[in-house]
Structure 1
């Protein structure tokens, strides 16, 4: 020990003191909560995860102390001034830590949630909030307690400094350098949190499948600072109430006496399948409609999928609410457009608790297959916290090798998923999320004999939506993956009683003038227009449907097809219900624009500047400036406002039962 520099020895003691404090606070939360039925023996993993979060916070304090304390003028053992500076800083840190924990305990006692940044909203009514706090909590005793514990901790830190200062240092300059590097790297590892491509995230706490376990694992710093950037994520309750009748009229229900209650019961429709069919929902990476064969692209990129569309129920005017994979997965699984800005809803700890219609498929096994990691965009917490009994398969769960940053190839993802599904004895609801149709556009060497790359002139590529041959061949490779999957599935017993649903997570912005009216390019509809297919030979009669539809409609439509009575509390609708109205909400976070695609028009407006426009989506004609079209624009503006305000409300109020 004497060969380790005094600075590092003291930092180790300091880290241990704070780690004991953090652990005692977590144990205190466990003792004071009403969830002790779990028992400490069942919470080992939760406490270990909490230890990792605590080590991150402690390392964030210790690493700057290591770097700055190594400067002679600030060294806590060779400089009297350095000692005073660090004791003062540690005193402030101690008070800060104890203050956070005390507020966290009060916050949890009041709301059964760990401290988050929404508490800052109370500062807008500071006088009322302080009076409430003063009347609700023993403030004087709490402050005295914090000060007393702070004095004790500062005394212990002083004692540890005095103990280390009396110990000799017998090491060399070489051992000093090695100790510095080892401590720095260890601290860096604790901050990152794991040996993985992705760091430890707050959402990993919710992957335990229990809100209580998640809250117990987190510390107030992790929960507060991760929600800080979302503290303005809110909604205008008055507007939501005023616009509730608009939502009811478009979603075919009458709002209750509580206009903030949007829950309604969905029922099977005529022609529902009563054989408890399996569901395989494929979320297709960057499956942009105008680049595919179904919409007449002459590059013939997706001939196999085109053949499936001719055999199933194909919706050719489907839109994702917005652009981005995380937002697309969110909308599909929750039924709510992700209108979070600037980050995504999946990254917002306050929105992690969501109801999903998937849970209404009682008696079904639930699966989610992804060739990479669900740590991406914090999506793991959304999945495991909200889908009951989910079997989650990621890169490390498959035999196939990783080919790039996105994990294993889509072909291998499909084939390995098929093998797992073929073994199931109960009905299942499976989601497969692809990734290959994305930079770096990797096509595995093992597939180059069966999948043939093609050449195309540069001008043809640009004209029909592709920026390079690599992009086009990657798009074609997705079609190859779909073919390999369906051909393998056809050989399995589950195939004949399975509905395969394919939908793009989002489109790709680009020039689609050769295939669509100019508005699709100019207003970036290409980034949200995706194929939606329900494929089940023998169960569903083929038809091509022109009804305007949305990603949020996928789960209600699946449930309606499967003779499932379900609870719908979001902005999705059953597309095969004869009373359904066709429209799709769109949201562009990059330009702060929101709008609706409905009938022959796209309406959209800027949230800040309030600039609005109405354009045709069926031709290049200018929209007439007359009373009839002014009325259309007004109707779509009201619907846009209703959908946007309600989506903001639902993101924070669609909690699972």
Structure 2
């Protein structure tokens, strides 16, 4: 209770200090910053309470231990740190636009620079806030925690220790934010699509600092293969296509000037199971039939191997990182361009549909900051519809999308993300009791199920009034090791489908197969160019319907895996290990392509660090 009240006071100080931003919020939004923020507050409080609980347990076994004084000393030290962080955060937020994390710790070795940075801060006001928080903390402590009630003389030692241990174990529940499957993270306190400041106000500063500590080492670029100027020039040449040529090449894709866009992301859809891409026949008849009447891309590769990486690559046209993901850093993702923002600025309504929990991997924070105004996730489905371990199966998801698109204002940009083909592949109607069925069979069946429900959804969508004016984008979030359990670096694991279809697709494009090599990052520029919208903010994305750059005839695709990268072109494939600084396959060495991949790795990670 002490820490929860102290955190509430700190949040109140934050809202008052930034009054100019607070007045833009409604009264309900101000209240929700406290309600939603309570989850991170409780998590931080649970962490801070472990030491007092340990002292209480020790005091139960050794009655002469001055538990009250030790708890008071601990609370004083930690309370001072919390007050200092909360006060520093007030002015740093004004300068940086994000809540305090471990970033300032990099300046501890440069006290002169730190002092210079604080030169313009209102130190008198901040000092007053600090003293106020310390005074209020002292008052709360005197009110709630003194005197510490002594243990009754007749209370048995075993009973006291058992009770203490039980309470300590119960701290795990608020520590992880509840009993749900995914531990609490920043996404759980993001609630406002219109006001990022409201989401930021709900963040608990001590929790944010502690959570970002393991990420502090990401300050230096370990992928320096060449002079930065050389790397920058090589990467620039990979995207050097005359802007007008690139725009004109896709201008005739749609028949209407401002079509709806239905963007469907298919979980784990690997090309190894897609018939028209050379995969197993009969698993994806829907995608295979759409390839005959729409636009199919033969050589598209996922940027990474996880959903959170694929989402950013697809929706922001941004490359992945080998050992982390930018989605873990909300202050970095806030600087990325996004399709939702670009289309929202063009007058589109924006929505995102997912049958699982958007708090997973911090996706909710990313989606809200990227411009989505309407989110539907697991908690928005009835309990009986949450018929999967991850949430609502894909047929339930598509049914919800179909219902809501009828009422959604036009034009719309609606994104649906499937989940049934995610482990453990427990799709409806699948009998898992047969001994001859292995993991590959379950995975294949789950992909077939999603493909089938997708076909049913599109068949129903063709009868809707919005269909003739709609472009549908179908693409996977990443590939999969199955079938075949390929190595993590195997390029075929990253090969995924990309299809364009819908009532707004120009019939002249029906059945077209695009042979150029491309990456998930290129989907954004391809879509925006087709809609005659600017793509200048998408520096890592190129129009796949336009001419390939002279530096990479036939196009290129760059992907990352754990501490390594791959570079795919029509000339061959390069797979490189960043640790051993050597290639991982026996493919012929392509020196120019390897240098291009190294330059891309170096520059893309440098860009990530600078955000």
CA-CA distance at 1:557 after TM superposition:
0.9
Contact 2:489 2:561 in 1 (8 A): no
C-alpha change, 1:21 and 1:313, in structure 2 (3 Å) is same
Pairing of 1:344-359 with structure 2 (within 5 A): 344-353=325-334, 354-359=336-341
CA-CA distance at 1:91 after TM superposition:
2.4
Q: Which residue of 2 aligns with 1:392?
A: 375
Pairing of 1:76-115 with structure 2 (within 5 A): 79=64, 81-115=66-100
Distance 1:141 1:419 in 2: 53
Distance 2:396 2:355 in 1: 8
- Determine whether 1:370 maps to 2:327: no
Contact 2:246 2:547 in 1 (8 A): no
C-alpha change, 1:95 and 1:316, in structure 2 (3 Å) is same
**Structure 2: which 5+ residue stretches go unaligned?**
none
CA-CA distance at 1:603 after TM superposition:
1.7
Q: Which residue of 1 aligns with 2:425?
A: 441
Q: Which residue of 2 aligns with 1:305?
A: 287
C-alpha change, 1:117 and 1:239, in structure 2 (3 Å) is farther
CA-CA distance at 1:521 after TM superposition:
6.7
Distance 1:328 1:637 in 2: 23
Q: Which residue of 2 aligns with 1:259?
A: none
Contact 2:353 2:401 in 1 (8 A): yes
CA-CA distance at 1:594 after TM superposition:
1.7
Q: Which residue of 1 aligns with 2:595?
A: 638
CA-CA distance at 1:270 after TM superposition:
3.9
Distance 1:352 1:503 in 2: 22
CA-CA distance at 1:112 after TM superposition:
3.6
Q: Which residue of 1 aligns with 2:605?
A: 648
The normalised TM-score by structure 1 is 0.79
Deviations 1:495-549 (A, max 9, x none): 2222221111111125769xxxxxx879511221111111236523221122111
Q: Which residue of 1 aligns with 2:309?
A: 327
CA-CA distance at 1:232 after TM superposition:
2.7
Distance 1:43 1:374 in 2: 23
Q: Which residue of 2 aligns with 1:260?
A: none
Secondary structure at the aligned position of 1:317 is classed as strand
Secondary structure at the aligned position of 1:43 is classed as helix
Deviations 1:362-412 (A, max 9, x none): 221212111111111110111011124x21111232356112222111122
Contact 2:299 2:518 in 1 (8 A): yes
Q: Which residue of 1 aligns with 2:232?
A: 244
Q: Which residue of 1 aligns with 2:174?
A: 190
Q: Which moved more, 1:534-543 or 1:361-370?
A: 534-543
Secondary structure at the aligned position of 2:23 is classed as helix
- Max Rg structure: 1
C-alpha change, 1:425 and 1:106, in structure 2 (3 Å) is closer
Q: Which residue of 2 aligns with 1:277?
A: 259
Secondary structure at the aligned position of 1:597 is classed as strand
- Determine whether 1:43 maps to 2:51: no
Distance 1:127 1:311 in 2: 64
Distance 1:298 1:417 in 2: 29
Distance 2:54 2:244 in 1: 58
C-alpha change, 1:298 and 1:532, in structure 2 (3 Å) is closer
CA-CA distance at 1:22 after TM superposition:
2.4
Contact 1:357 1:567 in 2 (8 A): no
CA-CA distance at 1:566 after TM superposition:
3.9
Q: Which moved more, 1:319-328 or 1:78-87?
A: 78-87
Pairing of 1:283-302 with structure 2 (within 5 A): 283-302=265-284
Deviations 1:468-493 (A, max 9, x none): 43222222212212211121112212
Distance 1:127 1:455 in 2: 65
What is the Cα-based RMSD across aligned positions, in Å? 3.9
Deviations 1:94-123 (A, max 9, x none): 222223223333433443432111212223
Secondary structure at the aligned position of 2:385 is classed as coil
